């Protein structure tokens, strides 16, 4: 918990003193060009060569029978032992502008009851896009970042041996069409929509390319390309110059809290009104020390257990600390650290300040 507290304090410290570094960014770092995006691929295949850790169901045998049927080999699923084969699902991301012949990574995951994919080989499997077309074909040795070993009465497992990767295992067969120009304009989409950031982006672009940019909403900025620019003439240079433009960014005041780990990250714009905070801990200790009542020899008594419970309640005094109005993140962290609170206590304090109406920020609880 102390380590997490140090991480929280250091994060707040860095945010408070790195305002100038966060005030501006290149367009390529805060926005994407519409049309240039990844596409998800999906496929179902078979992993063979497993050492008895494959599927125990008939699913893998059925898939293997169908594959052999395509190779003009007729084998009934009942005649195939599925101990060394496993039915798997393949997933991959196809980046924009990738040409046929390029290799991409593939993730393989068991869909049956296989206990491990270690040592397996993925059989040639087509990967489909959302439109039903084949865009890549995957094949290769499955790399598993874990293991599973078991005996009659014990089992040792590290990570998830039923999921693995085939590095550079998919060969791209078809290019995804990309549309960059829309009526002589390109569309720039902010990754974090914000009206102020969109307005600043328009101003910065127009300063370099006069009267070319127009914001449609908090996330979309249209930029008119110079006359005579086309896919084959000057468009790449224009987009490269557009992405290098520096924009003053703005974000809404937020405090993000992860209750599972006790992590708190606060933005530089977080402000609070004057508020008094009191903090104290209540510790309750319950100790069970059962006793045994043993009867005398040759008596008709029975051995019994006598319960004994000790309760200890300690309430630490909580001092009332005043946090003045308009303080920044560093001041908030300093005030809370003065109370000696843990990250989980900070979560409760921030929630209470928010309920009191004194916190001028969005509280996001993960």
3-state SS, residue 251:
coil
Out of 137, 153, 172, a domain closes at 172
Of 314, 312, 311, nearest to 281 by C-alpha is 314
Binning pLDDT at 50, 70 and 90, where does residue 177 land?
confident
Domain assignment of residue 148, yes or no: yes
User: Looking at the structure, do residues 60 and 144 belong to the same domain, yes or no?
Assistant: yes
Q: How many CA atoms lie within 13 A of 324 on its CB side?
A: 5
Query: Pseudo-torsion of CA 58, 107, 168, 231, nearest 10°?
Result: 120
Are residues 261 and 341 both part of a single domain?
Answer: yes
What is the C-alpha to C-alpha distance for residues 348 and 264, in angstroms, rounded to an integer?
11
Same-domain pairing of 142 and 218: no
Residues 44 and 158 in one domain: yes
**What's the pLDDT tens digit per position in 60-76?**
777 777 777 777 777 77
Are 149 and 156 in contact by the 8 Å Cβ rule? The answer is yes
159 and 218, same domain (yes or no): no
Q: Output the pLDDT for position 317.
A: 59
The residue with tokens 């290769």 is 140
User: Is there a single domain that holds both residue 168 and residue 78?
Assistant: yes
Given a contact cutoff of 8 angstroms between Cβ atoms, the answer to whether 246 and 197 are in contact is: no
Last residue within a domain, chosen from 172, 203, 223? 172
pTM above 0.75, yes or no: no
Domain extent for 207:
24-35+179-248
- Tell me 11's DSSP state: H
Residue 336 lies in a domain: yes
Residue 350 · residue 259 · CB < 8 Å: no
Identify whether residues 52 and 143 lie together within a single domain.
yes
Q: CA-CA distance, 14 to 20, in Å (whole number)?
A: 11
Could you give the C-alpha distances from 99 to 43, 172, 176, 352, in angstroms and in order?
20, 7, 8, 55
Do 95 and 220 lie in one domain? The reply is no
**Residue 359 maps to a domain:** yes
Among candidate residues 172, 203, 229, the one where a domain is terminated: 172
The pLDDT value recorded for residue 351 is 80
Q: Percentage of the chain surpassing pLDDT 90?
A: 28
Asked which of 93-97, 169-173, 323-327 is least confident by mean pLDDT, the reply is 323-327
The verdict on residue 139 lying in a domain is yes
Residue 1 has pLDDT above 60, yes or no: no
Residues 232 and 152 in one domain: no
Asked if the structure places residue 138 within a domain, the reply is: yes
User: Which residue did the predictor score with more confidence, 110 or 288?
Assistant: 110
pLDDT class of 12 with cuts at 50, 70, 90: very low
Same domain, residue pair 47 and 168:
yes
Task: Give domain status of residue 262, yes or no.
Answer: yes
pLDDT at residue 91, as a whole number: 96
pLDDT digits (tens, 9 = 90+) for 303-341: 676 666 565 555 555 555 555 665 666 666 666 666 666
> Do 165 and 270 have their domain in common?
no
Asked if residue 18 is part of any domain, the answer here is no
Tokens coding 319 = 């001092």
Task: Indicate whether 53 and 142 sit together in one domain.
Answer: yes
CATH of residue 241's domain is: 3.30.1360
How far is 254 from 25, CA to CA, in rounded Å?
19
Q: Please tell me what DSSP assigns to residue 228.
A: T
DSSP 184: T
The number of domains in the chain is: 3
| Any domain includes 2 | no
Strand order in the sheet with 213-215: 31-33, 185-190, 220-224, 213-215
| pLDDT for residue 274 | 75
Cα(176)–Cα(121) distance, rounded to whole angstroms? 28
DSSP bridge partners of 277: 321
Is residue 229's pLDDT more than 80?
Answer: no
Question: Can you give the pLDDT at residue 35?
Answer: 82
**In whole numbers, what is the pLDDT of the chain averaged over residues?**
77
Distance CA 157, CA 116 (A): 10
Where do runs of H (alpha helix) occur along the chain?
A: 2-17, 19-22, 27-30, 59-70, 195-208, 235-243, 329-338, 343-355
């Amino acid at each position: 918990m102390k380590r997490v507290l140090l991480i929280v304090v250091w994060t707040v410290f860095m945010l408070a003193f790195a305002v100038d570094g966060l005030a501006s960014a290149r367009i390529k770092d805060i926005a994407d060009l519409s049309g240039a995006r990844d596409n998800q691929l999906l496929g179902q295949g078979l992993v063979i060569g497993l050492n008895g850790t494959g599927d125990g169901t008939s699913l893998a045998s059925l898939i293997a029978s169908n594959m052999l049927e395509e190779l003009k080999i007729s084998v009934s699923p009942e005649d195939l032992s599925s101990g060394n084969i496993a039915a798997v699902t393949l997933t991959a991301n196809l980046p924009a502008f990738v040409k046929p012949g390029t290799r991409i990574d593939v993730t393989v995951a068991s869909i049956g009851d296989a206990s491990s994919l270690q040592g397996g080989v993925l059989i040639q499997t087509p990967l489909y896009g959302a439109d039903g077309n084949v865009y890549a074909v995957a094949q290769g040795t499955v790399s598993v970042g874990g293991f599973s070993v078991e005996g009659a009465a014990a089992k040792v497992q590290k990570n998830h041996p039923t999921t693995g990767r085939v590095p550079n295992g998919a060969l791209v067969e078809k290019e995804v069409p990309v549309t960059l120009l829309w009526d002589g304009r390109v569309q720039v989409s902010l990754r974090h929509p914000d009206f102020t950031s969109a307005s600043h982006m328009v101003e910065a672009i127009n300063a370099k390319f006069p009267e070319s940019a127009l914001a449609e909403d908090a996330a979309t900025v249209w930029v008119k390309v110079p006359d005579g620019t086309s896919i084959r003439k000057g468009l790449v240079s224009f987009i490269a110059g557009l992405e290098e433009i520096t924009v003053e960014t703005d974000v809404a005041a937020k405090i993000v809290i992860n209750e599972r780990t006790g992590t708190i990250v606060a933005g530089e714009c977080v402000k609070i009104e004057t508020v008094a905070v009191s903090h104290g801990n209540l510790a309750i200790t319950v100790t069970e020390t059962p006793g045994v009542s043993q009867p005398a020899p040759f008596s008709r008594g029975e051995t019994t257990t006598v319960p004994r419970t000790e309760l200890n309640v300690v309430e630490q005094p909580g001092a009332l600390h005043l946090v003045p109005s308009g303080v920044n993140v560093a001041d908030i962290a300093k005030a809370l650290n003065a109370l000696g609170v843990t990250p989980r206590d900070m979560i409760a304090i921030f929630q209470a300040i928010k309920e009191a109406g004194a916190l001028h920020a969005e509280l996001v609880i993960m």
